[in-house]
Structure 1
């Protein structure tokens, strides 16, 4: 069966969505494992990392093959270049899900519920989930307006992350018995903040693909 450029492009699009869905699932499971102290679920995330890596390599190879066979230009070229970069960011998101799960298994410390509350962990995860929804909709519907919603939400994560050290300091002053728990939570919050940055990168690539607008090096106003 002869496969043409349009069919190959559709397949690339589908594999990209599969990678996105897989990495979102990894973060969701890692978060549930962290909140419920479920080491079995954390182990599942760790074991699924091999699938993330395999899909990462497949997408890289398929993009390179498309470039070599069809010599794409204009929107097709932007699409393939965006998929390559998005895939790179997704693989790193998968790495953070793995890292969170590794901490859960290796440290084996249950976090006191009040620490989740004061450090606004629910708000962090709610924001991450909303950002994932935005980039998924933007990619599936080819609507850059959804990708642009991500930037404001990323600032919410940056603010929570910036405030977390002072909050942790106060909690330790109240009870130095929570030192290990707060430091572990701080390390994991940093990972979620980095996931937010990676989602923002993906949003920029979607906008580049759809509108030929490069955002990465624009000066902040």
Structure 2
């Protein structure tokens, strides 16, 4: 075992801790959304400080590894990926905090019809399952599982495309619930963004393990 191995293991464990934390935020957001639970929304908001501190700790650890150990090959790719992954995870935490703030601002239980039309159950379940899959993929360095996340993200994107139309239909049906409907619409937007950020984490994991850069490849294919 080299002197670098314990540093890499410690960095990986901190990333996993941060991933578990933002996953917990999303789980609490789901419960708070369906139960109009102000206490859970507060918990999500308070957890954001821990998420931010973990990002700073990861950045510092990455800088120290680069400065003191001069990593190469897969170790270097992991450190470079860790910089980006911690940023993506912090932004997932930001989106969870944003959802909690929406909930706290409009602490009103949504009609079942609204939840169903926005497909919020599906949106939450898919984003949370993506994060769980990402945790397993990172722990086991499983790029096959990381790639499965991409297909799940497509579900979120498709529902997000229809969210504006859904909001308009619900506002027409419930004209006295406009603020609540707009809150639910905003949650859909943020969950779609969580999916994108989780996909980014998967791309960075693949870069680390396979030395393949996946970002922007779809755009390049479209241009061709």
Same fold (TM over 0.5): yes
- Structure 1: give runs of 5+ residues left out of the alignment: none
> 1:63 is matched with which residue?
62
Q: What is the CA–CA distance in structure 2 between the aligned matches of 1:220 and 1:137, rounded to whole Å? A: 30
**158-167 vs 125-134, greater mean Cα deviation:** 125-134
Q: Report Cα offsets for 1:82-125 as digits up to 9, x if no partner.
A: 11110000000011111111111122232112100111111111
Note the C-alpha offset of 1:220: 3.9
> 1:81 is matched with which residue?
80
Given that residues 164 and 185 in structure 2 are in contact (C-alpha distance below 8 angstroms), is that contact kept between their aligned partners in structure 1? yes
> 2:207 is matched with which residue?
208
Q: Which runs of 4+ in 1 moved over 4 A?
A: none
> 1:91 is matched with which residue?
90
TM-score (norm 2): 0.94
Q: What is the CA–CA distance in structure 2 between the aligned matches of 1:97 and 1:134, rounded to whole Å? A: 18
> 1:121 is matched with which residue?
120
- Structure 2: give runs of 5+ residues left out of the alignment: none
Given that residues 126 and 156 in structure 2 are in contact (C-alpha distance below 8 angstroms), is that contact kept between their aligned partners in structure 1? yes
Q: What is the CA–CA distance in structure 1 between the aligned matches of 2:142 and 2:155, rounded to whole Å? A: 23
Q: Mapping of 1:1-221 within 5 angstroms?
A: 4-218=3-217, 219-220=220-221
Note the C-alpha offset of 1:217: 2.4
The alignment's C-alpha RMSD in Å is 1.3
Note the C-alpha offset of 1:143: 1.1
Instruction: Count residues in correspondence.
Output: 219
